[in-house]
A and B are shown apart, each in its own frame.
Chain A
């Protein structure tokens, strides 16, 4: 019975951290963070600048490994498997946990090659198969109609909003299970922002999404769960509806009402 219950908890919870501590040299950037990220839900990370949102996001796909003097303590689980264990293959992990960055940054190659980049890396060579992946990913990111005529043009010629949707398509092309997005709309105009927000709501069917945002309305609009960070500590984590209507901590209330940060 107990095993059954545990099993169910695991299927609902895609990623989980336990006593997660991150240090940049002497700087203690994350302090004892325990989080559960529900599967097939959008989780929003909010908090003032420098509170550790990006740091937390990067621990989920081990992009922090690239930083020079970083030290990570505690556990991060993906489907119950510790991603910092020595047995974990980091490239496989990053294929399963994709990432979209704040600044749209397509590779300096054609639109087609941008999307096909990930699949090719993971060994897919067939032209037809790649064509299929490219079209599917671009459709999912709602940019197919805009670029189908110019698939072999440089991706650098697209507008900012198009570039960001291209980057989303590029991340989707390797069929991740989790998609991490660090302020994906902060460099975009309102119309493009709306398009990306619509995507995220649609993605829930297939993916688990974690998004960092500075925009309270955005968090309220699109997320199911919200996590509030302050100075490296997790202050409050709840369903978005509850966190925004009945915050348990006064610091959360102050933040969402725009009184600091």
Chain B
């Protein structure tokens, strides 16, 4: 009797103690979760509060759709249209170059490469993701730009009007971005391709389809949502990159033509925030807000894709 009583006493104590720990842990987790929301919320708020004043002062049409960027002139003009277009064009080109390469690499890794070769390529891809972006920039500057300059000299040999960029142009930036999104797109695409049931491919082969036909008509379509996710993440990465491309893109505000020196949303902020003041500085915040908007849209799209994936 006595023993039993003390035992249940012990249990009661223990369980009330355990309940306390549970409660505390719950609150801690809650707080951590809240802090993420708080961070996103406050950043959003900060971006809006700082980005809007310039819009109100200059006018949104003028900022978003004028191509004249002369922030320090006597009669300054703050059109960022070229910069917005550059970010879109650069990202688009990077995806155009990088995604096919990445998806084919993913096919190679998941379906073609013998195990020992895959085990060499895969870490190499992962290493690519770990290289700091400034290194990409420096390499681009030293290796890619001179090559690009040669190409430029050859193409525009007879041109009277072309402004030579020394190879620091949109194309160089797009190529560097393409390489930088490779690891993201490869890794996620490979996972998506591996998730395709092998019987699906076997069925295609059993109908007399070749390996290549099977890959392009069955495997890749079946891995579509995963590959799309990879592409969207790649777009996000390319859109937000600043350091590497500021070194290879020539950094002057122009419409995004392949052999023009250009400035991106990100590099515009990087290169001018240091010295800008007054309205100029506020417009840079507006640029930040525009970039933020792009990233938000990209994440929304991603969210949609991932939600769609859950359904059959």
Contacts and interface: CB of A to CB of B under 8 A. Distances in A.
Contacts of B312: 156-157
B204 A107 contact: yes
Interface string B205-222: 111111001000110011
Contact of A101 (B199, B210, B213): B199
Interface string A111-135: 0000001100110000000000000
B200 A105 contact: yes
B202 A98 contact: no
A2 interface: no
B5 interface: no
Q: How many interface residues does chain B have, given as a range?
A: 10 to 19
B203 interface: yes
Interface string A151-187: 0000011000000000100110010000000000000
Interface string B82-121: 0000000000000000000000000000000000000000
B204 A117 contact: yes
A24 to B, nearest CB: 16
Contacts of A61: 206
A257 to B, nearest CB: 33
Given A63-B202, A63-B205, A105-B203, A91 B210 contact: yes
A102 to B, nearest CB: 8
Nearest to A117: B207
Which applies to chain B's interface (DSSP): helix, strand, loop or mixed?
helix
Contacts of A109: 221
Nearest to B203: A105
Contacts of A118: 207-209
A94 B210 contact: no
Nearest to B218: A107
B228 to A, nearest CB: 14
Given A95-B207, A107-B218, A171-B207, A121 B213 contact: yes
Contacts of B199: 101, 103, 105
B200 A107 contact: yes
Interface string B178-192: 000000000000000
Main secondary structure of the interface of A (DSSP, over half): helix
Contact of A95 (B197, B202, B208, B217): B208
Interface in A79-108: 91-95, 98-99, 101, 103, 105, 107-108
B203 A101 contact: yes
Interface string B144-156: 0000000000000
Interface in A54-96: 61, 63, 66, 91-95
Interface residues of A, number: 26
A12 B203 CA distance: 28
A238 B200 CA distance: 34
Contact of A167 (B203, B205, B217): B203
A68 B209 CA distance: 19
A101 B201 CA distance: 12
A167 B312 CA distance: 18
Contacts of B218: 107
Interface in B294-312: 312
B205 A94 contact: yes
B202 A101 contact: yes
Given A107-B222, A156-B312, A121 B206 contact: no
Contacts of B197: 105
Contact of A108 (B206, B208, B221): B221
Most buried by B among A92, A103, A167: A103
A92 B199 CA distance: 20
A66 B207 CA distance: 14
A97 B29 CA distance: 59
B207 A63 contact: no
Contacts of B209: 91, 117-118, 121
Given A109-B221, A117-B217, A122 B208 contact: yes
A170 B202 CA distance: 13
B38 to A, nearest CB: 41
Given A105-B197, A108-B222, A157-B312, A94 B208 contact: yes
21 contacts: A63-B202, A63-B206, A66-B202, A92-B208, A94-B206, A98-B206, A99-B203, A101-B203, A101-B206, A105-B200, A105-B203, A107-B203, A108-B221, A109-B221, A117-B204, A117-B217, A121-B207, A121-B209, A156-B312, A170-B203, A174-B207
Q: Top 4 nearest A-B pairs by Cβ distance?
A: A95-B208, A99-B206, A118-B207, A94-B208
Given A107-B204, A117-B207, 18 more contacts: A63-B206, A66-B202, A91-B208, A94-B206, A95-B207, A98-B207, A99-B203, A101-B199, A101-B203, A105-B197, A117-B209, A118-B207, A118-B208, A121-B208, A121-B213, A122-B208, A156-B312, A171-B206
